[in-house]
Amino acid sequence: MNTAMAKLIEKIGRRAARISVIGLGYVGLNVSVSFANEGFKVHGFDVDKKKISSLENGVNYIPEERYLARVLPKVLGKKFIPSIEVEKASLLGDVVIIIVPTANGDVPTLTYLEKALKSVIRNDISGKFIIIESTVKVGTTDEFVVPILEKSGLTAGEDFFVAYSPERIDPGNPDKTLKSIPKIVSGINSESAEIAAELYEKIVSKVVLVSSMRTAEFVKLMENSQRDVNIALMNMFALMCEKSGIDVEEALFAASTKWNFHPYKASCGVGGHCLKKDPLLLAKSFENSDLDLGLIYSARKLNDSMPPLTAEKAAAICREKLGKDVAEAKFGILGLTYKKNSSDARNAPAQFIMERLGEIGAKRISAYDPLIRDSPINGSLMDVLKSDIVIMTVAHDAFKGVFDTFAGYVVDGTNTLEPSERVIGVGRGFAQEGVEQDEGNGFEKCGQDVPQRFRESAVE
């Protein structure tokens, strides 16, 4: 064990190591507060002035995260100091954790990561520990991150340490917290990996050490690509069900009686920062190989088709059920985030549904989400419930019972509502283009037979 490594581990052990976190989004803020709550001095940095201003005024901009709501007030301004001066991260921290976006919308980019790295080497990084948590394509830490850091004139693994540990968090899920989710760690060498393990063991229940940074990068991409492909398959099943008068939830319930069938939820689309880009990053990692990557691209294409298809379903209901032209009807969007009980609106299906509705002639569209603040498109629940057709894009707990007295049609993009003549889900109850369905045995029978616990527990 070299002297610098021994010094770092000793400081981590006594919680004397100073930690800088660059990027205070959903993951970065949780990581910062978690280390601060364990007694570490944490400096949190972000270029978003609104985030820093909110924190300086004691405002938690991710209020649905119960852990943050409880702990942030205890550490803010004491063990956790937010700042916009990113260039001071490596000056103030013995450990610098970088958790910045690696996409602009759903287009992968390393621009933000590059800027963060260049700010790090403005200061002497001798003996420092640099950790990347941002999701990147395989090989990025070795081939992109390390060369930038070595422009400092120092050698990674000798003069300073480098690790990669993919972020793992489930926003809005109180049962899957940062602490309870196993943490994957790796390093440029065994020393770096060992320091990473020692550090993260202070805030998570389990650390999983892998043999290389490439493996850790791959694991993250593999997790989300598997999820994307599985959801795409379920969405394909749902579209097939719509064409053949079958209720997809009934079919899923029946199939799940076999022990090796794993149900996922068909829906109006997937969103978030990760799921739309990570499969593309995985494919890009192997674009120069002889592998057929068509499965990944086909899944992405199908999942991206679900929001416009949902908009077109609402338009078809408008014409065929209401007898109205799309331009005459009023459409409501319930939910502007991509995930249940989360305020994260990045790449949310709602935005693409509204775009498609506008393209096909809708003139009156209102939207509401109780978890969204400061959005020009976020209106009122009352206004949405005055619509002819409401599209529910996310099943927030706050929406329970909201349609009890609603007299219009509901397009349930989450497949969590009880189906009826007026509540139509994805792959349930209403076929476009005149496809015949058995109204007596389809979605209404499923609504009676499928246990509610199944509908709620299927993987979304």
Active site residues: 220, 274
Q: Are 275 and 227 in contact (CB under 8 A)?
A: yes
Residue 454 DSSP label: H
Give CA–CA dist 240/305, Å, rounded: 14
The tokens describing 270, both together, are 């997937």
The tokens describing 406, both together, are 């609603």
Q: Are 203 and 133 in contact (CB under 8 A)?
A: no
- Going by C-beta distance under 8 Å and a sequence separation of 6 or more, which residues neighbour residue 138? 214, 217, 218, 221, 282, 285, 286
Give CA–CA dist 31/177, Å, rounded: 11
> CA-CA distances (angstroms) from residue 291 to 218, 284, 294?
16, 11, 9
Closest CA to 136 of 128, 145, 127, 147: 145
Give CA–CA dist 63/157, Å, rounded: 39
Q: Around Cβ 155, how many Cβ atoms within 10 Å?
A: 11
Q: Around Cβ 306, how many Cβ atoms within 10 Å?
A: 24
Q: Where does residue 371 rank: exposed (0-12), middle (13-18), buried (19+ CB within 10 A)?
A: buried
Per-residue buried b or exposed e for 416-431, using 16+ beta carbons within 10 Å of the residue's own CB: bbbbeeebbbbbbbbb
Walk across the sheet containing 423-425 and list its strands.
364-368, 330-334, 389-392, 409-412, 423-425
Q: Around Cβ 390, how many Cβ atoms within 10 Å?
A: 26
Give CA–CA dist 121/125, Å, rounded: 7
> CA-CA distances (angstroms) from residue 242 to 170, 309, 318, 456?
31, 12, 17, 21
